[in-house]
Amino acid sequence: MEETKLRILELYSGIGGMHYAAELANVGAEVVFSVDINTSANEVYRHNFKQTNQQSRNIESLSANEINKLKPNVIMMSPPCQPFTRVGLKLDVEDSRCSSFLHLLDVLPHLETVSLVLMENVVGFETSEMRNAFTKALKSCGFYFREFLLSPVSLQIPNSRNRYYLIAKKFTNFAFGTETDIMTAFPSNSCDITISVGQKTLEPYLEKNFADEELARYLLPAKTLMKYWRILDVRQRSDISSCCFTKAYTHYAEGTGSVLQHDSNESFQEKFADFEKDGNVAHLEPLQLRYFTPREIANLMGFPAPFSFPENTSLRTRYRLLGNSLNVLVVSSLLKILLK
């Protein structure tokens, strides 16, 4: 007799981070329907998941009846973060980008087969009115939930990406934590679950054998070095951490992600000391300071080797889409805990 697979409804699907997390968790699940309004993200998603029913549409057009026909057991979602992000206006539920999420809360009581929910968002969501409305709706539908603030660093991945997560299940409470506490680590009694961990230094995540013309594509321009050298977060291959990569990486220099010293044989301290003496940016050239490539960022975010972008996706769009995505290993670990 064929085993019944968990059926996942993937909302705000982006480039497929939730889908990859479900695959990595290896819990016998399939994505039966995926939806996002971002056409660039959808192109990447369809490029990697050609067999999935993926649609470009507003989630507000999804009715309870349509969802019930799909018979999903799990909803995995990463709603728009702009209403809650530290650099946004923090309009919360008043932001028009919350309207699809509010629609989902209206639909939730009428969903007949959904018993599990996994949601990701930015830090800041946990103090929002939207969060209060979300947890109230979950409770009224018989769900128990747990909230987390987690970074990939907790899985020994050398990249900081602190995010809010919520997992919820219907009718059965969790064996750890409470609904009044936000957890900042994976529950200790999840140790009997095999959780994927990363490799501690940046080196294994980096691309090998750069051709000269390929390297030139990612080197920081001299004018960027001259103007922003004091605020650049420069990392070495042997480093055990890196800053969060945002959608503005390469477009803005400050707070959007780390850069790499490509030539590790040169002394970072000596070259910068020489530069500070006379301001000649040529002193920094031997360091070969460069941006992390989209593939390297994808590696740090847990996307598997087969993941790729369509050839016509611009470099700027690749960075933007990755900056809007999520860490696959963190979500995969939470999905295992949810299904335990």
Active-site residue numbers?
81
Nearest-Å Rg of the Cα atoms of the chain is 21
At residue 92, φ and ψ (nearest 5 deg) are 60, -135
Measure the CA–CA gap between 339 and 27, rounded to whole angstroms.
8
Strands (E), the chain: 6-11, 29-36, 54-56, 74-77, 116-122, 143-150, 163-170, 182-183, 234-235, 259-261, 289-291
Q: Of 47, 211, 65, which Cα lies nearest the Cα of 13?
A: 47
What string of DSSP letters covers 189-217? GGTTS------SSSGGGS-----HHHHHH
How many angstroms separate the CA atoms of 260 and 218, rounded? 10
What φ, ψ does residue 331 adopt, rounded to 5°? -65, -40
Residues 6+ apart with CB under 8 A from 107: 62, 63, 64, 67
DSSP string, 276-316: HHH--GGGGGGG-EEEPPHHHHHHHTT--TT----TTS-HH
**CA–CA gap between residue 2 and residue 7 (Å, rounded):** 15
CA 18 to CA 268: how far, in whole Å? 38
8 A C-beta contact, residue 119 and residue 101: no
Residue 76, φ and ψ in degrees, nearest 5: -115, 130
